[in-house]
Amino acid sequence: DVVWLSPIYTSPQADNGYDIADYQDIDPMFGTLADFDELVAQAHARGIRVVMDLVVNHTSDEHAWFMESRSSRSNPKRDWYIWRAPREGFRPGEPGAEPNNWGSFFSGSAWTLDEETGEYYLHLFHTKQPDLNWENLEVRQAVYTMMRWWLDRGVDGFRMDVINL
């Protein structure tokens, strides 16, 4: 027997919790980490496993990693997300300046301009869900560390959302 939890992480809820702002906390609408620990303990006492939905294709634009990434082009976390300059011959924000013609699953361009740095970030879903750069080994390690943290709390596994992207 298994209980499968949709995203319960801290989120601004632009996409029903699939825009995670903190991978290691529970959104207050669902309770606290102590409440979660009690849920896991009670489930395990009844022979029920706990599986969490985990979204690692993207984060919320309110996640600390993204806020650091967008703070400057030289920030060490800049490469944790996918950033591109405007298309050659265009100024940032001009129609057609997006790096390419990729579309978002939520309609419109898959690129949003960050006006502070003049570059575009990739979001295959909502504009508030910037895509992580899985080519960056630090991103992979941070995600693996976070997953280990949940497993050490007693979570039995994860349902990986949009892992095929």
Q: Encode pLDDT of 41-55 as tens digits.
A: 999 999 999 999 999
**How far is Cα 151 from Cα 121, in angstroms, rounded to an integer?**
31
Does residue 41 form part of some domain?
Answer: yes
**How far is Cα 163 from Cα 31, in angstroms, rounded to an integer?**
27
Amino acid at 162: V
Does residue 70 form part of some domain?
Answer: no
* pTM, 2 dp: 0.93
Does residue 104 form part of some domain?
Answer: no
Does residue 91 form part of some domain?
Answer: no
Amino acid at 55: V
**How far is Cα 123 from Cα 132, in angstroms, rounded to an integer?**
9
**How far is Cα 145 from Cα 45, in angstroms, rounded to an integer?**
27
Does residue 115 form part of some domain?
Answer: no
**How far is Cα 163 from Cα 147, in angstroms, rounded to an integer?**
14
Does residue 128 form part of some domain?
Answer: no
The first and second tokens of residue 100, run together, are 């390419």
Q: Buried b vs exposed e over 143-159: b needs ≥16 C-beta within 10 Å?
A: eeebbeebeeeebbebe
pLDDT over 90, % of the chain: 96
φ, ψ for residue 29, nearest 5 deg? -65, -20
Does residue 143 form part of some domain?
Answer: yes
Does residue 19 form part of some domain?
Answer: yes
Q: Encode pLDDT of 64-119 as tens digits.
A: 999 999 999 999 999 999 999 999 999 999 999 999 999 999 989 999 999 999 99
The first and second tokens of residue 14, run together, are 């632009």
For residue 165, pLDDT beyond 80: no
For the chain, the straight-line distance linking the first and the last C-alpha, in angstroms and rounded, comes to 29
φ, ψ for residue 160, nearest 5 deg? -85, 120
Domain housing 156: 2-59+136-161
β-partners of residue 120 are 84, 113
The total of structural domains in the chain comes to 1
Amino acid at 95: P
